[in-house]
Amino acid sequence: MQIYLDDTVLRLKAVMVTDPVEKGLFKAMIGLMHTNKGIGLAAPQIGLSLRLFVTDVKGDKPRMFINPTITDYSDDTCKKSEGCLSVPGVFKDVERPARVKVTATDLKGREFTLECGGMLARCIQHEYDHLDGILFIEKAR
Overall average pLDDT of the 36-62 stretch: 97
Identify the CA nearest to 67 among candidates 11, 16, 115, 109. Answer: 16
Residue 102 lies in a domain: yes
- Its domain, for residue 77, covers 8-138
pLDDT at 89 exceeding the cut of 80: yes
Confidence class for position 4, pLDDT limits 50, 70, 90 = confident
Report the alpha-carbon distance of residue 91 to residue 82 in Å, rounded.
Answer: 5
Do residues 35 and 1 lie in contact, with contact meaning Cβ atoms separated by under 8 Å? no
Residue 3 lies in a domain: no
Helix (H) or strand (E) holding 17: none
Residue 111 lies in a domain: yes
- pLDDT tens figures, 52-72: 999 999 999 999 999 999 999
Residue 2 lies in a domain: no
pLDDT at 6: 80
Residue 113 lies in a domain: yes
In this structure, the number of other CB atoms found within 10 A of the CB of residue 48 comes to: 18
Rounded to 5 degrees, what angle do the CA atoms 70, 126, 25 make? 85
Positions annotated as catalytic residues are 127
Residue 75 lies in a domain: yes
The CATH number linked to 39 is: 3.90.45.10
Residue 40 lies in a domain: yes
Do residues 131 and 45 lie in contact, with contact meaning Cβ atoms separated by under 8 Å? no
**Is residue 116 packed enough to be buried (19+ CB in 10 Å), middle (13-18) or exposed (0-12)?**
middle
Residue 88 lies in a domain: yes
pLDDT at 5: 72
Overall average pLDDT of the 35-54 stretch: 97
Q: How many domains does the chain have?
A: 1
